[in-house]
Structure 1
């Protein structure tokens, strides 16, 4: 497999501030300092990201709409000819943002982790979050922005996947897409209790990755709505998958410009404010082949084994602050 000379996708968690407390949050947003940069440094990171010439950039968090410089930052990247996508929980979306959203982003994904308020709000950790997400989708439905639903599938909502298609999608005639992705055992989703109770079973993950299942879901929505379902195993960065080319050649940027070597794991390789993009990518690729990574991920065959491997990698490559945060993670209480 020939490794690309640059990341094909960049995920920038532009802030860790968040009004929600999702049980599966990979970044533990809302539970830690936001680490958000000041305007000048945000623009420097934006320029560095654009210099890497990725196919696409996803702005996530935390809640990106809490960043007042968001649209100015996005303009720097779109001016470089790069498509930028937004991921939002919808809680803070306001009508006056709609025109800026349509100009700044080629698509806006609203996180909806259940077809009903009781399921969604339990997963998202805040009562009223379902209603806020529905209100955000309604606002987008009346705008010119391309928008859709992004659903992280866990054991508590897997039974509602088809219901999202049959009950939620018809509520928004302008909806462009629906994406379903198996929860990845990273961050809070790698906790021992979560791995045992909320990670999908291996059979459920296989179903999400089955092309036939995706076809079935597409048959439940209007032809104008694009539906995808993925097992997210490409994020595992398993050495066998890298050899076959079945992996995700991406960089994940933390709010302060630090760059993770692998999106699903703790451990940075430098910072876009101090290191060249080419050098950061070289270090990231080197990490994929680090003996500890290869030895830890090599035997992984199940979701529970993946969660255990994540905990080992996070602890090995994470900073002292990362390890302290991991040690403070609360025990998971079943939903």
Structure 2
């Protein structure tokens, strides 16, 4: 497999501030300093990301809508001809923002982790978050950007996937897509306890990756709604999958510009505000082939083994401050 000479996708967690407390949060947002940049540095980051010439940029977090300069930053990227997508929990979306969203983003994903308030609010860690997400989808209906539902699938909501398709999707005229992605053992989703109780079973993971499962879901939604389901194994960066070209050639950027070598793992390789994009990409690709990474991931065959490997890789490459954060992760209380 030929490795691209640059990342094909950029994921920028623009802030770690967040009103929610998701039990599976990959970035531990809302539980740590926001690390959000000031306006001038945000614009410098936008220019540096554009210079990497990715096919697409995803703005995530935390909650991106908490960044007051969000639309100014995003319009700088779209002016360069790059499509920018937004991931939001919907909690802070207000009607007056919708026009700006339509101008700044080609695609808006609203997180909805269950078909009922009981399940969604437990996963998202805040009562009322289900109703806020539905309200956000109502506001986006007919507003202009392609909008849809993004569902992180854990064991507790796996049984509601079809219900999302049959009961929630038809409620929103113009909804363009619904995406189901298996939870990745990253951040809080990699801790012991969560791995045992909320990571998907091997049978559920097999279903998420099966074409027949996606086809069944597509038959449940109105015509014109695009349905995807994935096991997210491309994020594992398993040496075998890299050799076969089944991996995600993306760069994940933390709020302050620090660049993660692999999106699903701790460990940075520099900062986009101080290091050249080409060098950061070179260091990232080098990390994929690091002997410790290869030795840790090569034996992985199950989701539980993936979670154990994640914990080892995270602790090995994390900074001292990040290790302290990992050590402070709260014990998981079963949903």
Contact kept? 1:42, 1:73, Cα under 8 Å: yes
Match of 2:161 in 1: 161
1:103-143 Cα offsets, whole Å, 9 max, x none, are 10000000000000000000000000000000000000141
Contact kept? 1:111, 1:151, Cα under 8 Å: yes
1:244-272 Cα offsets, whole Å, 9 max, x none, are 00000000000000000000000000000
Q: In the aligned structure 1, how far is the partner of 2:152 from the partner of 2:170?
A: 20
Spell out the pairing of 1:179-258 with structure 2 (5 A cutoff).
179-258=179-258
| Alpha-carbon shift at residue 150 of structure 1 (Å) | 0.1
Q: In the aligned structure 1, how far is the partner of 2:207 from the partner of 2:220?
A: 17
Contact kept? 1:98, 1:145, Cα under 8 Å: no
1:152-189 Cα offsets, whole Å, 9 max, x none, are 00000000000000000011011000000000000000
Contact kept? 2:110, 2:148, Cα under 8 Å: yes
Q: Which runs of 4+ in 1 moved over 3 A?
A: none
Spell out the pairing of 1:40-55 with structure 2 (5 A cutoff).
40-55=40-55
1:1-25 Cα offsets, whole Å, 9 max, x none, are 1000000011000000000000000
Q: In the aligned structure 2, how far is the partner of 1:277 from the partner of 1:302?
A: 34
Q: In the aligned structure 1, how far is the partner of 2:198 from the partner of 2:21?
A: 16
Match of 2:74 in 1: 74
Match of 1:283 in 2: 283
Q: Secondary structure at the match of 1:36?
A: coil
Match of 2:37 in 1: 37
Corresponding residue pairs, total: 335
Q: Secondary structure at the match of 2:80?
A: coil
Q: In the aligned structure 1, how far is the partner of 2:42 from the partner of 2:267?
A: 21
| Alpha-carbon shift at residue 223 of structure 1 (Å) | 1.5
Give structure 2 stretches of 5+ with no counterpart: none
Q: CA RMSD in A?
A: 0.5
Asked if 1:110 is matched to 2:134, the reply is no
Q: In the aligned structure 2, how far is the partner of 1:203 from the partner of 1:248?
A: 23
Q: Secondary structure at the match of 1:149?
A: strand
Q: In the aligned structure 2, how far is the partner of 1:205 from the partner of 1:46?
A: 36
| Alpha-carbon shift at residue 144 of structure 1 (Å) | 1.5
Q: In the aligned structure 2, how far is the partner of 1:121 from the partner of 1:174?
A: 25
Contact kept? 2:142, 2:173, Cα under 8 Å: no
Contact kept? 1:162, 1:217, Cα under 8 Å: yes
Contact kept? 1:194, 1:332, Cα under 8 Å: yes
Asked if 1:329 is matched to 2:324, the reply is no
Q: Secondary structure at the match of 2:34?
A: coil
Contact kept? 1:50, 1:80, Cα under 8 Å: yes
| Alpha-carbon shift at residue 96 of structure 1 (Å) | 0.3
Match of 1:264 in 2: 264
Contact kept? 1:112, 1:151, Cα under 8 Å: yes
1:179-224 Cα offsets, whole Å, 9 max, x none, are 0000000000000100000000011011000011001000000121
Q: In the aligned structure 1, how far is the partner of 2:104 from the partner of 2:249?
A: 24
Q: What's the TM-score once normalised by structure 1's chain length?
A: 1.00
